[in-house]
Structure 1
Amino acid sequence: MTTPPARRRALMLVNPNARRGSQALEPVIARLRDGGIDVVIERFEAPDEVSPDIARRQHEADLVIVCGGDGTIRSAAKGVLATGLPLGILPMGTANDLARTLEIPEDLIAAADIIVAGNMRAIDLGEVNGQPFFNVASIGLAADLARGLTREAKRRWGKLGYALAAIRVMASTRPFRAIIGSKSGYFRVRTLQIAVGNGVHYGGGAVVHHDATIEDGRLDLYSLELKNVWKFGLMLGAFRRGEHGAWDEVRTVKDTEFHIRTRKPRPINTDGDIVTNTPAHFLIRPKAVTVFAPN
């Protein structure tokens, strides 16, 4: 007699404020249950509730499923890191860059099928001043953009909201000075943006670096050292392909650790949320989180 496979228990964390947070989850939950996964749903209002919920309820679950965008998934990072529970992703945000990096489809039933199939990968986690990130952490343009892009704009305009906010930010942004340190030494820059990437995609589909992966054990830094911010418009195609390092105005460095200092504290945007300021210490945690994803 064949023993039926053991059923798994999932703690499903739902962000009702995500762009697709109001989308009905009943068909998704039914697909998971048919696949042997019993679901307990926990809805939250503030991101800082997510990791404590995971830690508090870890003994009730064999896996965690996060329903939301990149910011919601980032808020779960400390919880899954501390408990070791594998992470399933149902992409319900605006950009869904981590899902794109992992090739998880935005169709929620198809994303649920990936969790049911049970294939898991160990991926890297970036960290800045003790705050985790999956995709990228940025100082300068992207941080200014994060502060100017409201939740209402994301829900109403989607990815177009990023473009509209970016135009406003670029019209008023000014270069800043910073000192960047890595194993290869220290250098001073006058820059519009410093970005440190762990994954592949960020900002709704731009590529951190053409050969970046979320499993290579390295961070990819670039510094955008333009004298005229509007030249950035000519470089957009290169950023979409991860080939921006070919421009003389873009400095790129790969390493496992970076230190960045600025004259005065500047906000740092991690996966869409402002969570800390400079001075900044970046490091990589190789294969720190297990996720459900295609091979």
Structure 2
Amino acid sequence: MSIPKAKHLLFVIHGVRAELPAVRNLVDWVRAKGHTVTPRITWERGDAERFAMDGGRGGVDTVVAIGGDGTVNEVLNGLAGSDVPLGIIPLGTANDFARQTGIPLDADSAMDVILHRAPTRIDTAELNGRRFLNVSTAGIGAEATAETPADAKEALGALAYAITGVRKLAELQPITARFEAPGFDFESRFLVLAVGNGRATGGGTLLTPKASFVDGLLDVCVVEARARRGFARLTLKLRKGEHLGAPGVRYLQVPSLRVHADRPITVNVDGEPNEISTLAYRVHAKSLRVHLGTTPG
């Protein structure tokens, strides 16, 4: 393997993760290899986006997000419109984007990817003016994510989402919405909505299994209302990505989508919940340079 040239790396580190010995050792290790490391530690929402924006304008070679999906999402938005590459050290609960793109979950190995592999151009998605990398969900999955306690996620990882999801089955409340996309216009009472730039969310659930980070399209899965027992059976297929073609499941591949819900609903974007009633999605083809462990499909 060739020796990489010296780089100036901006490390945007989630405040909780900054105390980990592995993170502190990583800074020392990268500096020992001759690279310049500027660490910035986040303490509140918006810090990571601001740090990334400043880094993109300040001439750094790469902005490295160190944390979970929320940290990565903020850094992505800070880099919107910039050609500065994104590197990821995945230290979150689910790390769905990293798992899909071959980014190691070990900090040192993930850093090797950033130092030794050239960045790849991939698509990003947008919801109401905010970029996201992976999957946006509404309905039961989004509510489960929003209601899963932080300490449960820390202790149980992705299993915590599944436990909350089982509890939410007892509270099934369909959402009525109108869907508008190129070639599509329909109304649905749905339980689950997923809009995917990537395939998996919530620790590996394949809601949009045909999605690609490089096809210039968003994959949309709508699971329409059904009885509790029928939905419980379908969740097993949803987990494995085997739900396409099942009764009451719509699957679209479109460059944009508008959803008009009958009330404000919980919408999850890269692990972060929001309350929205009108959802405007679009894809930005090949808009991000990112260091990946594998070539995206």
TM-score, with normalisation over the residues of structure 2?
0.91
Question: Structure 2: how far apart are the matches of 1:92 and 1:103?
Answer: 14
Instruction: Report the Cα distance in structure 2 between the residues aligned to 1:182 and 1:104, rounded to whole angstroms.
Output: 33
Quick one: distance in 2 between partners of 1:158 and 1:36? 35
Following TM superposition, by how much is the alpha carbon of 1:6 offset from its aligned partner in structure 2, in angstroms?
Answer: 4.3
In the alignment, does 2:170 pair up with 1:171? yes
Residue identity opposite 1:15 in structure 2:
H
The one-letter amino acid of 2:246's match is: W
Residue 276 of structure 1 deviates from its aligned partner by: 5.0
Q: Partner letter of residue 52 of structure 1? A: R
Measure the CA separation in 2 of the matches of 1:184 and 1:241.
28
The aligned residue for residue 291 of structure 2 is 292
- The answer as to whether partners of 1:215 and 1:287 remain within 8 angstroms in 2 is yes
1:134 Cα shift? 1.0
Q: CA RMSD in A?
A: 2.0
Query: Match for 1:130: what amino acid?
Result: G
Q: Does 2:238 align with 1:243?
A: no
Alignment coverage as a number of residue pairs: 291
CA contact (8 A) 1:175 1:191 kept: yes
Matched, 1:55 2:53: yes
- Letter of the aligned partner of 1:53 in structure 2? F
3-state DSSP of counterpart to 2:46: helix
What TM-score, normalized by structure 1, do the two folds share?
0.92
Q: Deviations over 1:8-32 (max 9, x none)?
A: 11110111336x9735223323443
Cα distance in 2 for partners of 1:67, 1:103 equals 16
Q: CA deviation at 1:38?
A: 1.8
Residue 51 of structure 2: SS of its match in structure 1?
helix
The 5 A counterparts of 1:1-295 are: 6-17=5-16, 22-58=20-56, 59=58, 61-294=60-293, 295=295
Deviation, structure 1 residue 33 = 3.1
Deviates more, 1:4-13 or 1:96-105: 4-13
The CA deviation at 1:239 is 2.1
Moved more, 89-98 or 113-122: 113-122
Give the Cα–Cα distance (whole angstroms) in 2 for the partners of residues 62 and 98 of structure 1.
Answer: 22
Q: Contact 1:120–1:293 (CA<8 Å) still a contact in 2?
A: yes
Indicate how the Cα distance of structure 1 residues 104 and 225 shifts in structure 2: closer, same or farther if over 3 A, else same.
Answer: same
Following the alignment from structure 1 to structure 2, what is the Cα–Cα distance between the partners of residues 113 and 64? 15
Conserved 8 A contact 2:264-2:276: yes
Kept in 2: contact 1:35–1:116 (CA 8 A): no
> What amino acid is the match of 1:171?
A
Task: Give the CA deviation at 1:66.
Answer: 0.5
| 8 Å Cα contact 1:137-1:195 kept in structure 2 | yes
Give secondary structure in 1 for the equivalent of 2:160: helix
The percentage of counterpart residues that share the same residue type is 28
CA distance, structure 2, for counterparts of residue 82 and residue 51 of structure 1: 13
Given that 2:178 and 2:261 are in contact with CA atoms closer than 8 Å, whether structure 1 keeps it comes out as: yes
Residue identity in the other structure for 1:215: V
How far, CA to CA, are the matches of 1:87 and 1:268 in structure 2? 25
> Do the aligned partners of residues 5 and 142 (structure 1) sit closer, same or farther apart at CA in structure 2, a change above 3 Å counting?
closer
Q: Can you give the 5+ residue segments of structure 1 that lack an aligned partner in the other structure?
A: none
What residue identity is the alignment partner of 1:112?
A: M
Gap runs ≥5 in structure 2: none
Alpha-carbon distance, 1:56 to partner: 2.3
Partner Cα distance (2:49, 2:225) in 1: 39
Distance 2:87 2:206 in 1: 23
Which whole-Å deviations, capped at 9, do the CAs of 1:257-287 have from their partners, x for residues lacking one?
0010111222321011123512111100111
